[in-house]
Structure 1
């Protein structure tokens, strides 16, 4: 049974209150409703109630390149064409298709279609792996990996100026100074040692000791979080360090004598961690502490429930296979929803929390729960995790299957109705991306890029 308990409606009306009373199994009813606002999100700049059409269009020649250059095709053997975005600029990889082989980094202003800077040549990978990533709000890092030694480019994200080009110890080999994108930062992971920051000469900088694998739940460039977590301690440890991605500062607070910290999760606006007493090698959690992004404590809940690693949008906790408690960033209980785990997952869209009750990505059953009204919504058969963004009314879902004949679709999150489908030939370069508050699409032949905007009336 779904435990979204709206109670004492008559009492609420008598008190002149509007909103929802949620039942807290530890402390009884709490009034949250109107006091809670969804995390701030950047909405798409163009309405999406009807199928978008091309706005500006830029061919390779408009971006300062010749006609023999195409965007890199998406496949398992090459890097993805989209590097990421910072502000209104999107960054893409392209390559020559004739003559001397050359790979290029392009910057495109998503609001005008103009080139953000002259194309940056990355040379010929010659069968070697090449990957570019964001590294903070001002820098792009590109690495060409070779067993005998990697080569790096450090590029100013605004001007395209190469500020460093030369050898680096960083690799694209998992476990050995492996460079990974976490939010808008690139970090280097060293197995069983820890995580490093990356500096202006593609060198390692700050260091956080640990297992050397950053938790990446929800850590993409769209919902970039300034903090991250990794396991610390010996084999079998359940304790996680919370650290700032900009400088590696560890944010875990000190604990009382005899107390131990266990799991931690991050989400927009802060992080939560479990604290309890050790019982041999196991930590028995009895409370959850809530913090902002700077490590300032905002709240505390006494509970034996465990944090849900998949709680990427709001803190969530549960015990065993029971329902999942959803909290505000300062620890106030919002609701109980169905069990959430790695097979189900959950995603917040506005005030609606979608939970995949189908426990499958192939046959999803995403049911929405409005955290402001307490209403259970419709069950959708699309993958909410594939959402690019929303204009506040319509959710735009990216279709990543290259065999499909559409690249995106617009759906009503309240009714699950599909409002439009954006067609494309299968097995082509066509793909849709979000850049800031705008949507852009690479053409099917890979020779141009264009914006997607509401049709003129």
Structure 2
């Protein structure tokens, strides 16, 4: 993608927002001032925090590692979730345990299940692999020796497999390396393609390609529910869209003579860039549902911004346009410089306005109004979660985490960092904030 000068990107924050108002009777758009009535947009489903973060949160339920049946000194951390069932890994010097917690109540739902000794492991990780199954893999130092896989059914707590596997957590090129995509584990072999993973840690379905997930899958800590579709390069021009459930390649319903290019997946479908025969200088986009059925072919020229993953953003030389998958124009923005990162929090659309993703301009998608421009790491690398109005992020100072009001960008509260010889961590597990302080786990909830 051609990188336009950064100065143009910075001017975005000073430019006047062009709002594209949807006309309810005909689906047309007009340019004008922010509409007085909110749009009835079908925004992507999000796992926002269930508790208000307006005030400093306080402990809710509390459990200790002893109450969970874990050995003294165990460090418990979440490795995934199946809805409100948080899957936690108990880490000790000599091995690992797996257990489930209902993060709304703190009640143990299964386990702890003994996985095995650490041995000579150099890498270890767990992956949700088609709920209710969780796959854990221990990788040995010798990459010529098989790894060990454990598969646990989280609905019953039963160990359904304990044995060797060719899977790697971080192997060398040519070996199947595991990645978590939504609620499924996949195995990537660079230069070969992508495999599914079965209930015994075996390779199942296969989608040939270059084995490289496109850059959109490097973005973490998003609130939108992930798609069951993924994208890899084909080794040619057109990307390959496929299901991480069964490996089915989804082919878009598009006219003959169309040359496809880059693809981006969204909740509810995907988009492709394309050109038509005889006019390879004009890039266009089209959107499809998860089966490949065409949803829209907007009358805009441009390319998909693959750093806007929650809702489509099409960039061109004249403007950037936020669209729905059915082709409705929601927001018009001045043209960006380098491809901007963007994220959705509630009904707020936030766009990074600098190369380091520290300056974020926000817009309300329901009214089209521009909001405050916030600065800092709270909307990017330090982001943990949000209730839609207040962001919870790692503290940039000496604190542990802080709450930032999106309306004012002000820090509302901060949880102090750990004291000497104290361990503290905070995670978002589905829609609940969970904190660990030494051997205790507890939820963080709004004060009564």
Instruction: Report the count of equivalent residues.
Output: 421
From 23, 32, 44, give the equivalent of 1:39.
44
Shift of 1:278: 6.4
Residue in structure 2 matched with residue 205 of structure 1 by the alignment: 204
Shift of 1:177: 0.7
1:289-312 CA-to-partner distances (Å, cap 9, x unmatched) read 112223222111243301111121
Q: Is the 8 A contact 2:36 2:367 kept in 1?
A: no
Return 5+ residue gaps in structure 2 as ranges: 1-11
Residue in structure 2 matched with residue 108 of structure 1 by the alignment: 101
Shift of 1:436: 2.1
Q: Is the 8 A contact 1:22 1:334 kept in 2?
A: no
2:379 counterpart of 1:384: yes
2:80 counterpart of 1:84: yes
Change (3 A) 1:284 1:164: farther
SS at match of 2:39: helix
Residue in structure 1 matched with residue 193 of structure 2 by the alignment: 194
| TM-score (normalised: structure 1) | 0.84
Q: Is the 8 A contact 2:322 2:329 kept in 1?
A: yes
Q: Is the 8 A contact 1:243 1:250 kept in 2?
A: yes
Q: In the aligned structure 1, how far is the partner of 2:40 from the partner of 2:296?
A: 15
Change (3 A) 1:96 1:8: closer
Residue in structure 2 matched with residue 4 of structure 1 by the alignment: 17
| TM-score (normalised: structure 2) | 0.85
RMSD: 3.1
Q: Is the 8 A contact 2:263 2:270 kept in 1?
A: yes
Higher relative contact order (CA 8 A, sep 6+): 2
1:116-137 CA-to-partner distances (Å, cap 9, x unmatched) read 2111222222342111111122
SS at match of 2:231: strand
Change (3 A) 1:112 1:323: same
The aligned runs of 1:221-232 (5 Å cut-off) are 222=223, 223-232=225-234
Q: Is the 8 A contact 1:338 1:355 kept in 2?
A: no
SS at match of 2:367: coil
From 322, 327, 331, give the equivalent of 2:327.
331
Residue in structure 1 matched with residue 159 of structure 2 by the alignment: 162
Q: In the aligned structure 2, how far is the partner of 1:6 from the partner of 1:318?
A: 16
Q: In the aligned structure 2, how far is the partner of 1:342 from the partner of 1:441?
A: 37
Q: In the aligned structure 1, how far is the partner of 2:393 from the partner of 2:160?
A: 37
Q: In the aligned structure 2, how far is the partner of 1:69 from the partner of 1:311?
A: 39
Shift of 1:252: 2.1
Q: In the aligned structure 1, how far is the partner of 2:40 from the partner of 2:106?
A: 41
Q: In the aligned structure 2, how far is the partner of 1:164 from the partner of 1:205?
A: 16
1:311-336 CA-to-partner distances (Å, cap 9, x unmatched) read 2111111135x642211121122122
1:360-398 CA-to-partner distances (Å, cap 9, x unmatched) read 14xx11110122222111111133134333334322224
Q: Is the 8 A contact 1:343 1:359 kept in 2?
A: no
Q: In the aligned structure 2, how far is the partner of 1:304 from the partner of 1:338?
A: 14
